[in-house]
Amino acid sequence: MTLDDRTRRIVALALALLVAATHGQHDLSAFHLPPATWAAFFLGGLLLQRAGWWVLGLALVAALDTIAIRWGGVSDFCMSPAYLFMIPAYGTLWLAGRVASRHLHRQLRDGLIVAACLGSILVAETLASGSFYLFSGKVAQHGLKGLPSYLITWAPQTLEAFAFWIGASALAGSAVLLLRGAGVLPRRSA
């Protein structure tokens, strides 16, 4: 799947606004929507693909976290050496989206996208929460045997937020295709 540059910029802006409105702990979200950051990185890989967009996404999230901590009154509890593991966590999501994008034209695309979504979010969550458990110095550890229960504690809310935004984006994409098919929206030029 390739998007023209204009569409790619629109998608990037939409994902950035969604992340800015839902990332972290803040009062910007009037509806208290779940965080879209994880899904935005997967969708970025799927739709934007280029690594430069991924780097801009990392910069956006780092800026949002910095602003929230410095001026937004958010605790710096999550800031530790483990924060660096967010880079490979977001990278996992982005790469899974890229892999899925290469196979969108095949019959098995839905199964592949579901597998890429599920696999990438599980790996990303393991990297993020696992590194926090092991390297932050802020969690009472019970050795490696305590890691699975720690992951199980945090994974459900992450999976729920990810599924919400991936589902919402699938519905939005389907709506665009239906509107194009009905002639309401212009078709993409070749």
In sequence order, the 6+-apart residues with CB closer than 8 A to the CB of 156 are none
Q: Are 16 and 60 in contact (CB under 8 A)?
A: yes
Amino acid present at 67? I
Q: Which two tokens stand for residue 39?
A: 């899904």
Per-residue pLDDT of the chain (190 residues; tens, 9 = 90+): 577 888 899 999 999 999 998 987 555 455 678 899 999 999 999 999 899 999 999 999 999 999 988 888 887 888 889 999 999 999 999 999 998 888 766 655 667 778 888 999 999 999 999 999 988 888 877 778 888 888 999 899 999 999 999 999 988 887 877 877 777 667 665 4
What pLDDT is recorded for position 97?
Answer: 92
Per-domain residue ranges of the chain: 5-176
